[in-house]
Amino acid sequence: MASNKNSALLRIQNRIEYILIRVLVGSLRLLPWCMAKAISQGLFVLIGYHIGVRRKVAETQMRKVYPDWQGSQIRKTLKQLYRNMGLSIATIYLIPEKRFIQNCTVVNRQYVDEAYSHGKGVILATAHLGNWEAARVFPLQEMPTSVIVRQQRNIYFDRFNNAIRSKHGVGMIDMKRGLRDIVAAFRKNEMVAILMDQNAGKSGLIMDFLGFPASHWLGVAKLSLRYKVPILPGFALLNPDGTTEFTFQPIIYHPDWEDDESFYPVLLKEVNEVIERFIHQYPSQWFWVHKRWKATGVMNK
C-alpha cells in the first residue's frame, strides 16, 4: 500500500517537474535566439559557478588533472565550462531547429565515409565534450545513426528528450537491453554512438584516463573485435556563437585481431588517447561535473 502511494507521489512530482521545465523552455523559445542563449548561459554560470552546484566535483578533478594551473586559470575554465553547458542546453531546447541544422558543419568527412565503406556498421566513439546531443542531425548528413541512451528518472522528461533526439531519424537503443539492437544497427551499416568517458563502476576495466585510474566499459572493444566494426572517434565541438562543428578523426580498425580479452585494453587505450587529446585541447568543453573516477576514488585522495 505504501509502495503504491510512493509511486503515485513520484509520478505527481515527475509531472510537476516536467510541466515547469516545459513552461520555462516554452517561455525562452518566445525570445530572440541571441537573448535565449544568453539567459541559458547566465543561468548555468549562476547556478553552477556562483551557487556552486557540482562545482566542487569539477574543480577537484580539474586541479588533479592540471596540477600546474594557477587558481585564476581554474576559475576561468570553470566559468567557461558552465557557460558552455548553458550554450549546449540552448542548442537542444531553445534554438529554432532550422537554424540549428544550418549551424552544424562536418570536418574530416572522409573518415566517416571510410568507416561506412567497410559495410560492417560504425562505432562512433565520442565523449561528454562540447555539444554531444547534436548527433540528432546525423541522418540529415547521410549518416544513419543510433544512439545508446539511459532512461532518466523522470519518465515524462525522458520521453521529451528522446523525441528531440529522434526527430530526424536517429534510433534509440536502451543501454540496459541494447546488444540485440546494436547488432541489428551494424547489420544495416548504421553508426552507433557511444559515450566512452562514463564511469563503468566496479565491473569495468581499470586503466588510466587523463593520468588517473578510472573504470572503463569493455563494450566498445568487444563489439569492434567480435563484429569487425571500425571505431570512428568524433566530437561535436561548440563555437562561442552557438554553431556546432562535428570533427572526426582517423578510424581505429583492427579486423585481423581476434576477439580476445588481451586486446581490449590495447584497443581502449587507442580510443582514450584520441579523447584525451581533445579534452586537453578543449578543457572547458568537457563535462568535468561528471564523477569519471568514482569507481577508483582517486579524486578523493
- All cell numbers assigned to 238: 561548440
Q: Is 180 exposed, middle or buried (0-12, 13-18, 19+ CB in 10 A)?
A: exposed
Residue 7's contacts (CB-CB under 8 Å, 6 or more residues apart) are none
Give residue-wise pLDDT tens across range 159-181. Answer: 999 999 999 999 999 887 779 99
Amino acid at 221: A
User: Going residue by residue through the chain (301 aa), what tens digit of pLDDT does each one get?
Assistant: 556 667 888 889 999 999 999 999 999 999 999 999 999 999 999 999 999 999 999 999 999 999 999 999 999 999 999 999 999 999 999 999 999 999 999 999 999 999 999 999 999 999 999 999 999 999 999 999 999 988 888 999 999 999 999 999 999 998 877 799 999 999 999 999 999 999 999 989 999 999 999 999 999 999 999 999 999 999 999 998 889 999 999 999 999 999 999 999 999 999 999 999 999 999 999 999 999 999 999 998 7
Looking at residue 152, its pLDDT comes to: 87
SS3 (DSSP) at 134: helix
**Packing angle between helix 55-65 and helix 71-93, nearest 10 degrees?**
130
For strand 145-149 and strand 171-174, is the pairing parallel, antiparallel, or unpaired? parallel
Tell me what pLDDT residue 301 has.
77
Taking alpha carbons only, the member of 174, 212, 196 closest to residue 294 is 212
Radius of gyration of the chain (CA): 20
Q: The cell 566512452 sits on which residue?
A: 196
Order of all β-strands in the sheet with 104-107: 104-107, 244-248, 231-238, 122-126, 191-195, 145-149, 171-174
Task: Spell out the alpha helix ranges (H) of the chain.
Answer: 2-29, 33-44, 55-65, 71-93, 97-102, 109-117, 155-165, 179-187, 219-227, 264-281
Cell triple for 189 = 551499416
